[in-house]
Amino acid sequence: MSLFASLDPVHVVSGFGVGILVGMTGVGGGSLMTPLLVLLFGVHPVTAVGTDLLFAALTKSAGVVAHGFNRSVDWVVTGLLAAGSIPATALTLFVLSRMEVHGDAGKTVATILGWALIATSASLLFRRQILAWAKNRFSHEPKPGARTAATVITGAVLGFIVSLSSVGAGAIGMTVLLILYANLPLVRLVGSDIAHAVPLTLLAGAGYWWIGSVDLTLLGQLLTGSVPGILIGSLLAPRAPEAILKPLLATVLAIVGAKLALA
């Protein structure tokens, strides 16, 4: 079947809407797309996560090119994150492949997705307070060795969470990076986070494809809508009421996350 065969307007429009929100707010597409697929369209949690991981890898690749061209990627930070996330992702996918994908794994993925959404919501709502607490708690910059170890561990945790939920590489990862690398410009941290997300989501998505849990037709439909949506959202971003939009999105993510985690 062709990737774009039998286009479903509802899926295309949904991808467009999520793309606009991503472009306007910077909130990761996985935080919006995966719960939408599970709760609104009834897609199995494992298939939703696998499809969204490849969706994220493809959409964020353009961001890496842009940040690389602008030299706003710290490849050392990216490499340290990947040193933790790639092995953790491979191990997580191996364990997942040994589970009953549409049985035990479905419940596990839905629960972890729910808690990842709650953590993402908290990082969006309370990032300023978290950073202020970290600044007061750790008055000095971490020693190089400790910071290196913490970055690799952060990558490993993200590899586990993202592999099972497609959520967390953006909001959660950025919050930790802002604590560990307060001396680096924000744009370099953003570029490094996006650069790390591409191999992470590509590897995880390929693993889901290997175990037969990616809907390529659905992926094509979502991309058809989301790519122009992200471009339009990026143009609208300077006019977006961020002070209202981000707290509203965070609240919705928390409610959806609780529904999935406690179901």
In DSSP notation, 6-73 reads T--HHHHHHHHHHHHHHHHH---HHHHHHHIIIIIS---HHHHHHHHHHHHHHHHHHHHHHHHHTT--
In a domain, 98, yes or no: yes
Structure tokens at 38: 């599970």
Structure tokens at 11: 């899926």
pLDDT digit string (tens) for the chain, length 263 residues: 444 456 788 889 988 888 888 777 667 677 888 888 888 888 988 899 999 999 888 877 776 776 677 787 899 999 999 999 999 999 999 888 887 655 667 888 889 999 999 988 888 888 888 888 877 776 666 788 889 999 999 999 999 999 988 887 777 888 888 889 888 888 788 888 888 888 999 999 999 999 888 999 999 998 888 888 887 877 776 776 777 777 888 888 898 889 888 86
19-41 residues labelled b (16+ CB within 10 A) or e (exposed): bbbbbbbbbbbbbbbbbbbbbee
Residue 118 has what pLDDT?
92
Structure tokens at 252: 């919705």
Residue 204 has what pLDDT?
93
With contact defined as beta carbons under 8 Å apart, do 256 and 39 qualify?
yes
In a domain, 1, yes or no: no
Structure tokens at 250: 């965070």
Number of domains forming the structure of the chain? 1
Cα dihedral 167, 172, 174, 176 sign: negative
The pTM score is 0.83
**CA-to-CA distance for 205 and 217, rounded, in angstroms?**
15
Residue 103 has what pLDDT?
60
For 229, phi then psi, to 5°, come to -60, -45
Residue 92 sits at the vertex; the CA angle it makes with 87 and 98, to the nearest 5 degrees, is 130
For 111, the domain range is: 9-261
Which amino acid is present at 106? G
Residue 1 has what pLDDT?
46
In a domain, 2, yes or no: no
In a domain, 4, yes or no: no
